[in-house]
Amino acid sequence: MKSTETSILQANPRRAVFLDRDGTIIEDRGDLSDPAQVVFFKNTTPALRRLADHFALFIVTNQSGVAKGTITLEDVQRVNNYVEKHLAVAGAPIVATYVCPHQRSSGCKCIKPNAYFLKEAEREFGIDLRRSFVIGDHPHDVEFAAQSDATGIYVLSGHGIKHRAGIPAGTTVVEGISEATDLILASVSAPQTGRRGGGQLETTAPPTPFLGLRRGGTKLRLFWETA
């Protein structure tokens, strides 16, 4: 990124919504190796189109099937390209898709709930994490948000119901992506600052322009560092 663009982004930090992939915006059908296996939840496209008017959108997904050998990086790339293209055509472009291809036992830096990718987005795209949100169907997504002081929203789609007992008390819980969007946009419309913490939503000021960045046409971000 050019230094002038970096200066602009630092002066105009943008808030974002970080989306889990499987079980949050598409059905969780295990390790996907082909775009034909992708099934979007019916409310995903309209919900993300609404969010895109106010937030930069990112996907952050753990794909341990790569390390296990059940899928390849190329498979993950094809599936993510399909997801991004579908959403871009619908008016909800994804700024970047971040993928951890490791198993949890590897001790890597990038697997959720480690905040590696949130910090990467903060650095590369000038994201204000304290005014951003994480939506996911696993307790790791909630902890992922807490690691960087973003606001986590737990959805009951995907494996959300199965893992609900594992989320911290006070976590914001909703049925799915549409309801999560409603809560987030309600915080946008309220100009006063609300109480934050314990998974509570915070009301925020109107969004600042996302200057100097190209929307869409994203690339797969892979990180292989280990602790």
Rounded Cα–Cα distance for residues 70 and 172 (Å): 34
Contact 31, 72 (CB under 8 A): no
22, 75, 137, 141: the catalytic one is: 22
Q: Token pair of 193, please?
A: 């600052």
For residue 202, the cross-strand partners are none
Instruction: Please tell me which residue in 20, 75, 137, 141 is annotated as part of the active site.
Output: 20
- Give the chain's largest Cα–Cα span: 49
- Told to judge if 20 belongs to the known catalytic residues of this protein, a careful annotator would answer yes
Residue 75: CA count within 13 A, CB half-sphere: 18
Q: Residue 224: name the closest of 140, 121, 74, 116 by CA.
A: 116
- Active-site residue flag, 75: no
Catalytic residue ranges: 20, 22
